């Protein structure tokens, strides 16, 4: 088999149907870009779970009178609650956050926003932060202090984090759904392009078959065309993700990343998923081209 002939025929086909080729590349790039965004969301969810695995705690918010009059948990009500929590076998540690400390944290979290200027120390509560030995034993903490004097409410931070995970999961699902729709469009375009390319070269392919060329030999240039467009689309998708990260993603996520809510999306994350996108791009092109040739084209 003359490889130079095959490569030359594939290049000719790409140039001959340049409009269809460009449309196919762009559609594949969009599909793989959305898929890549979904994979980045999955990586972010996994890294966020790791980030919070040892940070989740139960907060016991104290009543307004205790918060205002006890700055160091030295008075009887707060000290009694703390002792009860430390005596639970489910508790690994207890720390106290005063009303003033809660206010300072609030101002850091909402710096530059109107809500940060409107809040006053009196509107925030002091709290006991409880670290658990086993995250499944939240009920033991509730039982230790629920209904006691000085307790306003008990917050399980896992409930708050669950909402964040639901949001990230929603982003992932939407991008995967859009990627699936775009992938279908890419498959149809690849199939149509292969059929069109085969039709425009039907005479020369027929001559090749008459002089003894195998069916595989005559089909290979069309397969190479499909694979090349898939790979080029994947390269564009990776480049697009890197550009989107630099221009949009970093800016959009800057606030919650700086506050430690979620980890930053790094360029290395995109580079990690890029081989998979390249493989999928080549696979989409090659498999679609092969199936199209076997089902719809007689070479």
- Tokens 């040892």 belong to 54
Please give the residue that has the higher pLDDT: either 219 or 31: 31
Both 166 and 278 in one domain: the answer is yes
Over residues 63-81, the mean pLDDT reads 87
Both 286 and 214 in one domain: the answer is yes
pLDDT at 237: 92
Strands (E), 21-119: 58-62, 91-97
Report whether pLDDT(201) > 80: no
Burial of residue 196, with CB atoms counted within 10 A of its CB: 0-12 exposed, 13-18 middle, 19 or more buried: middle
Last residue of a domain, one of 149, 175, 191: 149
Distances 234 to 75, 157, 252 between C-alpha atoms, Å:
64, 40, 25
Tell me how many domains the chain contains.
Answer: 2
Both 129 and 241 in one domain: the answer is no
Both 15 and 109 in one domain: the answer is no
**Which residues pair with residue 129 across a beta bridge?**
59, 95
Split at pLDDT 50, 70, 90, the class of 204 is: low
C-alpha gyration radius of the chain: 30
Split at pLDDT 50, 70, 90, the class of 89 is: confident
Both 167 and 228 in one domain: the answer is yes
Split at pLDDT 50, 70, 90, the class of 218 is: low
Split at pLDDT 50, 70, 90, the class of 279 is: very high
Report whether pLDDT(274) > 90: yes
Split at pLDDT 50, 70, 90, the class of 260 is: low
In a domain, 157, yes or no: no
Over residues 163-187, the mean pLDDT reads 81
Both 45 and 76 in one domain: the answer is no
Over residues 168-173, the mean pLDDT reads 80
Print the domain residue range for 249: 3-52+162-296
**168 alpha carbon, distance to own chain's centre:** 7
Q: Give the CATH number for residue 102.
A: 3.30.70.3040
Do residues 91 and 130 touch, judged by C-beta distance below 8 A?
Answer: yes
Evaluated on CA atoms 210, 214, 216, 222, the torsion sign reads negative
Both 174 and 123 in one domain: the answer is no
Split at pLDDT 50, 70, 90, the class of 203 is: low
Both 286 and 173 in one domain: the answer is yes
pLDDT at 284: 86
Whole-model pTM: value is: 0.65
Last residue of a domain, one of 149, 173, 201: 149
List pLDDT tens digits, range 107-154. 776 666 666 566 677 778 888 888 877 767 777 778 888 888 888 888
In a domain, 59, yes or no: no
In a domain, 40, yes or no: yes
CB atoms within 10 A of CB 32: 31
Report whether pLDDT(33) > 80: yes
Do residues 96 and 128 touch, judged by C-beta distance below 8 A?
Answer: yes
pLDDT at 236: 94
- Tokens 């490569």 belong to 7
Sequential DSSP letters for 216-260 = HHHHHHHHHHHHHHHHHHHHHHHHHHHHHIIIIIHHHHHHHHHTT
């Amino acid at each position: 088999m003359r490889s130079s002939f095959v490569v030359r025929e594939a290049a000719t086909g790409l140039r001959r149907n340049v409009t269809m080729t460009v449309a196919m590349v762009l559609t594949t790039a969009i599909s793989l870009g959305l898929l890549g965004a979904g994979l980045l969301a999955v990586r972010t969810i996994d890294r966020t779970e790791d980030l919070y695995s040892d940070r989740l705690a139960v907060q016991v918010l104290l009543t307004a009178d205790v918060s205002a009059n006890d700055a160091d948990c030295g008075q009887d009500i707060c000290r009694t609650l703390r002792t009860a929590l430390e005596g639970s076998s489910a508790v690994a540690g207890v720390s106290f956050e005063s009303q003033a400390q809660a206010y300072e944290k609030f101002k850091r979290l909402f710096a530059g926003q109107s809500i940060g200027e409107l809040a006053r120390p009196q509107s925030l509560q002091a709290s006991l932060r409880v670290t658990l030995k086993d995250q499944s034993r939240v009920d033991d903490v509730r039982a230790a202090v629920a209904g006691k004097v000085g307790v306003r409410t008990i917050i399980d931070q896992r409930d708050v984090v669950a909402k964040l995970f639901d949001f990230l999961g929603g982003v992932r699902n939407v991008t995967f759904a859009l990627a699936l729709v775009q992938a279908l469009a890419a498959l149809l375009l690849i199939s149509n392009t292969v059929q069109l390319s085969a039709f425009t070269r039907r005479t020369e392919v027929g001559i090749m078959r008459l002089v003894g060329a195998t069916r595989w030999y005559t089909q290979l240039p069309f397969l190479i065309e499909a694979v090349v467009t898939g790979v080029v689309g994947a390269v564009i998708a990776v480049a697009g993700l890197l550009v989107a990260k630099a221009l949009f993603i970093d800016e959009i996520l800057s606030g919650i990343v700086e506050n430690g809510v979620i980890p930053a999306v790094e360029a290395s994350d995109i580079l990690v998923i890029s081989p998979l996108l390249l493989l999928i791009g080549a696979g989409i092109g090659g498999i679609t081209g092969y199936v199209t040739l076997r089902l719809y084209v007689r070479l």
